[in-house]
Structure 1
Amino acid sequence: MDKKRKRSVTRGIILAILAIAIGYTIYGAVTKDKIEIVQAGAQAPDFEVVDLNGEKHRLKDYEGKGVVLNFWGTWCEPCEREFPAMTRQYTAFANKGVQIIAVNFAQSEFEVKKYVANMGMNFPVAIDKTKSVFTAYSIGPLPTSIFIKPDGTVDRIITGEMSEEKIAQYMESIKPE
């Protein structure tokens, strides 16, 4: 009789824990704030990042310029293939009012600095240590590039590797008049 009672109490506790967990999950799903997914035509969320040289970059500081936010990681092979073209196009468009800011996915500063030096990247590179910019822009797969017009609206979001021709075409589309 004693074993049956212990088993019964144990089962009751397990069922109560399961009921609480299911209730919490349902409550969380119903009351959760909806995350705004950034889309073309929407106002780009402002952010602040610090690049590898210690300089701050805020989106609103680039008002009147086109901005390319490129989200990447050192392990990302398509990112690696894309960076030489990005570097060349940055050189071509920097004096035409288009800025690239490369935002790394929370990797170590040592790792990122070594990678940037090896790749010869000539535009600001920041590490999103808290992943707040990745979250604000709902970034999934890498690379993802967000092209922002001079008025601060999102022109387009490109997920995956781009050819140099596409990079040039998209940078042309966000160049100030």
Structure 2
Amino acid sequence: MKKRTIMRTVIVVIIFSAIAYTVYSNFIKETFELVKIGDVAPDFILEDLNGEKHKLSDYKGKGVVLNFWATYCDYCKEEMPDLEENYSKYKSKGVEILAINNAQTPFEVKKFTKNISFPILIDHSIVVFKSYNIEFLPTSVFIDSEGTVKKISSGEMSNKSIQKNIELILPNR
């Protein structure tokens, strides 16, 4: 009889704990704003593979593509050469691409990006990933010269869609 009471009490405590956790999690999730089209892009400072710091707000006046990726992401691997091709095409027109890796080691990242000329940043603490609410890889955020988010693209983009989205953020159009 006593064992049954203890067991029931434990089960009730577990159920209430699970309910409380669910309510708390949903409350926190609901109060955390998602970055959306029309928002000012959250500023950040990250280091590239050479130790140089990049602050998003320093790129004001340019169109910026933030490409969130990882070396284990097959779609990211397929998309990277198209991003490089478009970087070569649009850099002189005032567009920058910043590739933001999700906390992998510099060794892994360098091996993967040896033919890439745009800045490769590593988000060691995943703060930028969280502030942009990145859930899927790759995800690209297209930011105009005033710092406003113009487009968010989750999943692999074709070369043509990269070009189309970059056209949205060209400065002085």
Superposition TM-score, scaled by structure 2 size:
0.90
Structure 2 unaligned residues grouped into runs of 5+? none
The SS at the match of 2:113 is: helix
Select the residue among 156, 164, 168 that pairs with 2:163: 168
Superposition TM-score, scaled by structure 1 size:
0.88
The SS at the match of 1:130 is: coil
Aligned to 1:35: 32
Cα distance in structure 1, aligned partners of 2:85 and 2:150: 21
Select the residue among 64, 82, 85 that pairs with 1:85: 82
Cα distance in structure 1, aligned partners of 2:28 and 2:80: 41
Q: CA RMSD for the aligned pairs?
A: 1.8
Aligned to 1:66: 63
Aligned to 1:109: 106
Aligned to 1:22: 19
The SS at the match of 2:124 is: coil
The SS at the match of 2:61 is: coil
Give the deviation of 1:126 after TM superposition.
1.0
Give the deviation of 1:150 after TM superposition.
0.2
- CA deviation map 1:71-120 (0-9, x unaligned): 11111122111111111111121121111000012212111111111xx0
Give the deviation of 1:19 after TM superposition.
2.5
Aligned to 2:121: 126
Give the deviation of 1:31 after TM superposition.
6.2
Counterpart amino acid of 1:83?
Answer: M
Indicate whether 1:9 and 2:6 are aligned.
yes
Structure 1 unaligned residues grouped into runs of 5+? none
Total equivalences in the alignment:
172
Cα distance in structure 1, aligned partners of 2:15 and 2:82: 53
Residues 1:29 and 1:66: Cα distance change in structure 2 (over 3 Å): same
Larger Rg: 1
Give the deviation of 1:38 after TM superposition.
1.1
Select the residue among 127, 132, 138 that pairs with 1:143: 138
- CA deviation map 1:131-174 (0-9, x unaligned): 11111111121111111000000110111222222222222321
Most deviating of 165-174 and 47-56: 165-174
Q: Which runs of 4+ in 1 moved over 6 A?
A: none
Indicate whether 1:99 and 2:96 are aligned.
yes
Give the deviation of 1:61 after TM superposition.
0.6
Cα distance in structure 2, aligned partners of 1:32 and 1:50: 29
